[in-house]
């Protein structure tokens, strides 16, 4: 039986689903995103995570065709991630799915350990395969005894 999933408000370029048991926000880009669109997605994710008290996110950006600018990475590290941690009131765990060429360039934009990085109270991992991302999220769920299922 498939886990219950709740479709959420979408942006024309981004789909978001909430799975309540075990809790998981699953976001998918419909097409490559501009930096401005990424910030809109970030705000949607934060509002939805707070509404559902959901610290586990899997964000599928495999359709991205080019890396995002350093300024966007800086904004996320310096402003967005601290706000996520503060507003969610617990440590978020974010599995990012990205194309291989983006994954390989992550150290150049400040992510030295893409498989398990902690920045400003947010734990994140970057992966090229959804199964790897779910496995990573499940390892971090071990304390609460729940696991994410394939969407």
Q: Which SS3 state, helix, strand or coil, does residue 73 take? A: helix
pTM of the model: 0.86
In percent, the amount of the chain with pLDDT more than 90 equals 66
Give residues with Cβ within 8 angstroms of 149, minimum separation 6: 3, 19, 22, 134
Q: Where are the domains of the chain?
A: 16-141
pLDDT, tens only, 7-58 = 566 789 999 999 998 899 999 999 999 999 999 999 999 999 999 999 999 9
């Amino acid at each position: 039986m498939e886990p219950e999933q709740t479709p959420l408000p979408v942006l024309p370029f981004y789909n978001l689903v909430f799975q309540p048991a075990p809790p998981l926000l699953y976001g998918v880009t419909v097409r490559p995103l501009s930096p401005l669109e990424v910030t809109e997605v970030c705000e949607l994710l934060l509002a939805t995570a707070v509404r559902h008290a959901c610290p586990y996110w899997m964000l599928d950006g495999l359709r991205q065709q080019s890396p995002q600018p350093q300024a966007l990475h800086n904004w996320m590290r310096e402003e967005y991630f601290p706000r996520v941690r503060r507003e969610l009131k617990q440590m978020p765990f974010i599995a990012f799915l990205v194309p291989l060429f983006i994954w390989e360039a992550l150290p150049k934009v400040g992510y030295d350990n893409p498989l398990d990085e902690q920045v400003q109270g947010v734990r994140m991992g970057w992966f090229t395969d959804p199964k790897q991302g779910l496995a990573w999220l499940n390892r971090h769920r071990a304390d609460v005894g729940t696991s994410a299922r394939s969407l």
